[in-house]
Amino acid sequence: MDKEIKRIITVLTAICILFVSLMAYLTYFQIFKAESVKMNSYNKRLWINEEKILRGSIIDRNGKILAYSEKVDDTYKRFYNYGNLYSHIIGYSYREYGKAGLELEYNNTLLNISESTALNELKNIVLPNTEGNTLKLTIDHHLQEYSRNLLKGHKGSIVAMNPTTGEIYAMVSLPDFNPTNLKEDWKNIVEDENSPLLNRATSGLYTPGSTFKVLTAIAAIEKKDLDREYECTGSANIDGYILKDYDGKPHGKLNLEEALVKSCNTYFGEKGVIIGKDALGEVAERFLVNKKIDFDLPVSKSSFPYKDNLGETDIAAASIGQGKLLMTPLNMALIASGIANKGDIVKPILVKEVISPEGKVLRNNQPQILTKAVDIFTANEVKNMMVESVKRGTSRNASIKNVRVAGKTGTAENPSGKSHAWFIGFAPAEEPKIALAVVLEEEGSTGGKAAAPIARNIIIEALNTIK
Amino acid sequence: MFNKMVSYKYPRNLLMLFELLALFLLFIYSKDNLNKFTFIYGIGLILIVYVSNFLLLRISTGDTYIFLIVTMLISIGLIMIYRIDPLLGIKQILWIGMGIFIFFLTYLVFKNIKGWEEWTYFYGIGSIILFIITLLFGSRIRGAINWISIGGLSIQPSEIIKLLTIFLIASYYTRYEHFKKQKYGSYYLIATTYLFILFLFLQRDLGTVLILYTLFIALQFIYEENRRLILYNLLFSIVSGFLGYLLFPHVRIRFETWLNPWKYIDNKGYQITQSLFAIAEGGFFGTGLGLGHPDFIPEVHTDFIFSAICEEMGIFTGMGIIMLFLILVYRGFKIGINQKIKFYRIVAIGISILFGIQSFIIFGGVLKMIPLTGITIPFVSYGGSSMLSSFIALGILQVASEELDFEEAKDG
């Protein structure tokens, strides 16, 4: 071949290689890089809706405005009326720090944007929407504020809800942060070792301590052939491990009710071993342990790895709420509400209604039974034991004049060395209107001393104010 | 006749179908500011494209595909420009109409006038005069002085200079024997080329520097008999590139924003990152015409039209454009190889390299594969100068694709 032609073909080949490499790079970019590039906060496409649409307000169950947007100098600005109070429920929405809480989970609803399909986009061009939907929460602003004030100075969480409808009245998690000052505080918030960004109510995993005995009691009732009598000497030897009662005091002769009222560790430890890990684990799973809880905010799974190879010591520990158990406060509140609601656990709801800019109710979250955890007879039996616990047992500090309160305390040992103080319960026992879980993290005190009085005040306030 | 019109066997019918569908989409998209002129222009364009493809078949015995490829490219470009700004779209239609007219005019002129290879000095001196005019009267747009305005009309002399350079190199190598006899004759071309590059550096028109240099090196590689000269040139270009990086801050900025544009996202890296957002957002199939936000990219209708196309029509269309250019370049080379007259052979290959390298530089630039230099995509980007000069080049390529019957000039 002619030298000239050969050289021409070399040049052509070089150009072809350049073009093919362009296509290869384009494909590489699209497959491996595009996703992360798109999420950069400088990508205005992420914010185009925010800039054009007035983000919907968030109001409490009585219509009190908790968060709203307003036009300031041609851009919409988000206002959070109550600072820290709703940091974990409403969350925040910022260009720089992203979104959290309901602002994240209900972003599309708040902006009134539907799935991005070509058809919807075309509809949007024809009829652009300029205003988002309002979220009406189940939260009672007064109770929320009241609960937070009671928890102030502690770490921990409070979840208060209606056991028959599943409506969350108050959900507090401390420490928290102020979404209004996020820009100024961001560095401190992120570096704070107490993790103020964590919503302890839904994602905090705590050893439940004696509050878990409620479930052990249910497992005991369900085991028909179990001998419910027991002689407590203050300590018990389980497979070489000495299980002790609080302060090592013997409780003497006990039946199941007395054991729960006095929160007897040796009783539940020994009976738990007889009941067995599978029966106990199965009861726990009916109360949503190890299960994903469907909620308006992301919820961590409570865990009881009973399928693992557990020795008798481990089973005894789990029976009294120690050992390998980890529970979220929301889950504990649901356990209380399940017992209150004749054994049926209702789905917890935070967003009661979605209201369109024209005032039309677009979605109304109706009560929904998540699971039938126990039959009504078992539920009633445990309920009566919990009433007795408040009347004359470890939960005395939660008792209220003229109201029958059911409850169970817990003092959970944990690696920090300072125990968590727990209380779960509901009231009034005959027709429950409120169920709650209170946990004070690393409080170093007992559930009866520290958590029960807080629960008591919340119950009084709720029964007096919530219609 | 009708059967022939709707038959898919004729690419021009497929092209018309594509244009009709795209036009329909555009009308839906911009129905708010639709008027009967838009409609007339749109239909007019489709007719012009169809008729000129048809006409070309009748008058030219050469390659009829290159014009077809180009009309496909201008269609995609125009749709995007109209979608970004209908007013620019209308203007672009006028440029296209003018471009096609110029294409036929160029075709007729080059087909009938002989002796283009004799004008070596004219090409060189003409270019230098254009450079001087640009430097004296040019206005700085986006960092580079490459525009001059005459009576309200802005033109970019570098578009003409690119073609003149191809002619200069072609005529030099056609009359290679003649120049070799002169003292220092074999250095004339190199000296002139570096003079051009110096001018372009002064204008800060780095994109054109890159194009001219590649063009020069590639043609030198094919035709230079003194192979050592090529090596020296390559070495020199590396050294001068390095010096340019050290001496000129605007060269350094290009490199820094290429290596890490995210660091300068709110200033120097803004354009390129916006372009990457658009391409990333589009995915393989695009958001759909009118459903993306290419308007977030600055200069989207000229330098960044490719990003806009990727966003709304997907990277599959982007690859389609790249492949159209690949076929165009391939056919251009084929035309060159088949052309018996040396001058036209070099010109054909020069023009093909020009189309190829110019589109590669800007595709690679907006993708962040290579440093970004602001130049237009031939036939796709908005712009009169670019459109007209590209059509002139295409007209010459069309002539070169035919078997020409005039005698080759004697060497020397």
Q: What is the pLDDT of residues A63-114, one digit of tens each?
A: 999 999 888 877 788 899 998 999 999 998 887 777 889 988 898 888 877 6
Buried b (16+ CB within 10 A) or exposed e, B383-400: bbbbbbbbbbbbbbbbbb
Nearest to B107, CA basis, from B398, B404, B401, B403 = B398
User: How much is the CA Rg of chain B, to the nearest whole Å?
Assistant: 22
Q: How far is A98 from chain B (nearest CA, A)?
A: 18
Nearest residue on chain B to A14, judged by CA atoms? B218
B window 162-181, beta carbon within 8 A of A: none
Report the alpha-carbon distance of residue A68 to residue A70 in Å, rounded: 7
Q: Give pLDDT tens digits for A151-175.
A: 999 999 999 999 999 999 999 998 9
Mean of per-residue pLDDT scores for chain A: 89
Specify the CATH number for the domain of residue A206. 3.40.710.10
B window 262-291, beta carbon within 8 A of A: 262, 265-266, 273, 276-277, 279-281, 283-284, 287-288, 290-291
B window 337-366, beta carbon within 8 A of A: 337, 349, 353, 356-357, 360, 363-364
Query: Both B353 and B379 in a single domain?
Result: yes
Query: Both B67 and B150 in a single domain?
Result: no
Residue whose pair of structure tokens reads 């961590």 in the numeric block: A300
- Please give the pLDDT value at position B406: 62
Angstrom CA distances, A225 to A45, A221, A266, A385, B294, stand at 65, 9, 19, 20, 74
Q: Which helix (H) or strand (E) holds A284?
A: helix A277-286
- Please give the pLDDT value at position B410: 44
| B330 contact residues in A (CB cutoff 8 A) | 12, 16
Of A8, A23, A118, the CB nearest to B322: A23
Structural contact between residues A206 and A412, judged by C-beta atoms closer than 8 angstroms:
yes
Structural contact between residues A177 and A87, judged by C-beta atoms closer than 8 angstroms:
yes
Give the number of other Cβ atoms within 10 Å of residue A359's Cβ: 7
Looking at the structure of chain B, the number of domains it has is 2
CB pairs under 8 A between A and B: 111
Residue ending a domain, choose from B195, B217, B247: B247
Full DSSP string of B241-255: HHHHHHH-HHHHHHH
Decide if A39 touches B, using CB distance below 8 A: no
| B265 contact residues in A (CB cutoff 8 A) | 40, 42
Q: Which of A1, A2, A30 to mutate to test the interface with B (most CBs of B within 10 A)?
A: A30
Please give the biggest Cα pair distance in chain A: 111
Residue ending a domain, choose from B221, B247, B273: B247
Full DSSP string of A345-413: EEPPBSEEEEE-TTS-EEEE----EEEE-S-HHHHHHHHHHHHHHHHHSTTGGG-BTTB--EEEEEEE-
Query: Both B162 and B56 in a single domain?
Result: no
Mean per-residue pLDDT, A262-266? 90
Q: Give pLDDT tens digits for A363-375.
A: 888 999 999 999 9
- Please give the pLDDT value at position A349: 95
B254 within a domain of the structure (yes/no): no
Q: Around B42, how many Cα atoms within 13 Å sit in the side-chain half-sphere?
A: 22
Query: Both B92 and B164 in a single domain?
Result: no
Nearest to A336, CA basis, from A459, A221, A419, A440 = A459
Structural contact between residues A434 and A163, judged by C-beta atoms closer than 8 angstroms:
yes
Report the alpha-carbon distance of residue A381 to residue B13 in Å, rounded: 83
Q: How far is A43 from chain B (nearest CA, A)?
A: 6
Nearest residue on chain A to B281, judged by CA atoms? A38
Identity of residue A394: T
B232 within a domain of the structure (yes/no): yes
Coil vs helix vs strand at A200: helix
Would you say the C-alpha torsion B266, B269, B271, B274 has a positive or negative sign? negative
Structural contact between residues A212 and A325, judged by C-beta atoms closer than 8 angstroms:
yes
Coil vs helix vs strand at A435: strand
**Structure token pair of residue A384:** 């009566």
Query: Both B70 and B151 in a single domain?
Result: no
Structure confidence at residue A252 as a pLDDT band (50, 70, 90): confident
Query: Both B384 and B292 in a single domain?
Result: yes
Report the alpha-carbon distance of residue A155 to residue A148 in Å, rounded: 11
Report the alpha-carbon distance of residue B205 to residue B374 in Å, rounded: 8
A21 within a domain of the structure (yes/no): no
Structural contact between residues A301 and A202, judged by C-beta atoms closer than 8 angstroms:
no
A109 within a domain of the structure (yes/no): no
Angstrom CA distances, A436 to A136, A207, A439, B97, B281, stand at 21, 17, 10, 77, 46
Q: Which of B315, B316, B324 to mutate to test the interface with A (most CBs of A within 10 A)?
A: B315
Give the number of other Cβ atoms within 10 Å of residue B245's Cβ: 13
- Segment among A238-242, A434-438, B59-63, B149-153 with least mean pLDDT: B149-153
Report the alpha-carbon distance of residue A282 to residue A262 in Å, rounded: 25
A102 within a domain of the structure (yes/no): no
A window 104-123, beta carbon within 8 A of B: 118, 121-122
Domain that holds residue B13: 2-113+260-400
B360 within a domain of the structure (yes/no): yes
Query: Both B80 and B135 in a single domain?
Result: no
Identity of residue A50: E
If one compares A372 and A120, the residue with the highest pLDDT of the two is A372
Q: How far is B86 from chain A (nearest CA, A)?
A: 17
Full DSSP string of B66-86: HHHHHHHHHHHHHHHHHHH-H
B20 within a domain of the structure (yes/no): yes
B406 within a domain of the structure (yes/no): no
B370 within a domain of the structure (yes/no): yes
Domain that holds residue A202: 158-177+198-348+371-465
Burial label for B47, CB within 10 Å (0-12, 13-18, 19+), is: exposed
Q: Please name the residues in contact with B349: beta carbons below 8 A apart, sequence gap of 6 or more.
A: A8, A11, B219, B222, B332, B333, B336
Query: Both B396 and B276 in a single domain?
Result: yes
Q: Please name the residues in contact with A31: beta carbons below 8 A apart, sequence gap of 6 or more.
A: none
> Per the CB < 8 Å rule, is B322 touching A22?
yes
Structural contact between residues A307 and A124, judged by C-beta atoms closer than 8 angstroms:
no
Q: Which of B24, B222, B270, B275 to mutate to test the interface with A (most CBs of A within 10 A)?
A: B222
- Segment among A116-125, A209-218, A390-399 with least mean pLDDT: A116-125
A382 within a domain of the structure (yes/no): yes
Q: Which of B24, B29, B274, B276 to mutate to test the interface with A (most CBs of A within 10 A)?
A: B276
Q: How far is B360 from chain A (nearest CA, A)?
A: 7
- Please give the pLDDT value at position B412: 36
Give the number of other Cβ atoms within 10 Å of residue B210's Cβ: 22
* ipTM metric: 0.92
Looking at the structure of chain A, the number of domains it has is 1
Of A8, A37, A45, the CB nearest to B336: A8
Nearest residue on chain A to B220, judged by CA atoms? A7
Q: What angle do CA B315, B317, B322 make, to 5 degrees?
A: 90
Report the alpha-carbon distance of residue A103 to residue A69 in Å, rounded: 12
A30 within a domain of the structure (yes/no): no
| B291 contact residues in A (CB cutoff 8 A) | 118, 121-122
B411 within a domain of the structure (yes/no): no
Residue ending a domain, choose from B220, B247, B274: B247
Would you say the C-alpha torsion B382, B387, B390, B395 has a positive or negative sign? positive
pTM comes to 0.65
- Reported for B131-136, long-range contacts at CB under 8 A and 24+ positions apart, including other chains, are B131/B157, B131/B161, B131/B196, B131/B199, B131/B200, B131/B203, B133/B157, B134/B158, B134/B199, B134/B203, B135/B199, B135/B202, B135/B203
Report the alpha-carbon distance of residue A316 to residue A239 in Å, rounded: 10
Structural contact between residues B157 and B133, judged by C-beta atoms closer than 8 angstroms:
yes
Kindly give the pairing relationship between strand A351-355 and strand A420-427: unpaired
Structural contact between residues A35 and A29, judged by C-beta atoms closer than 8 angstroms:
no
| A23 contact residues in B (CB cutoff 8 A) | 319, 322-323
Strand ranges in A95-148 using DSSP code E only, listed in sequence order = 98-100, 134-137
Structural contact between residues A143 and A170, judged by C-beta atoms closer than 8 angstroms:
yes
Decide if A73 touches B, using CB distance below 8 A: no
B255 within a domain of the structure (yes/no): no
Q: Give pLDDT tens digits for A24-37.
A: 999 999 999 888 88
Structure confidence at residue A232 as a pLDDT band (50, 70, 90): confident
> Per the CB < 8 Å rule, is B222 touching A7?
yes
Q: What is the pLDDT along chain B (412 residues), one digit of tens a residue?
A: 555 555 656 788 888 888 888 888 777 776 666 677 777 888 888 888 888 988 888 888 888 899 999 999 999 999 899 888 888 888 898 899 999 999 999 999 999 988 888 888 999 999 999 999 888 887 766 666 777 777 667 788 889 999 999 999 999 999 988 888 888 877 888 899 889 988 888 888 888 989 999 999 999 999 988 888 889 888 988 998 888 888 888 888 888 889 988 888 777 888 899 999 999 988 898 888 888 888 888 888 888 999 999 999 999 999 999 999 999 999 999 999 999 999 999 999 999 999 999 999 999 999 999 998 888 999 999 988 899 999 999 999 999 999 887 655 444 3
Query: Both B88 and B147 in a single domain?
Result: no
| B313 contact residues in A (CB cutoff 8 A) | none
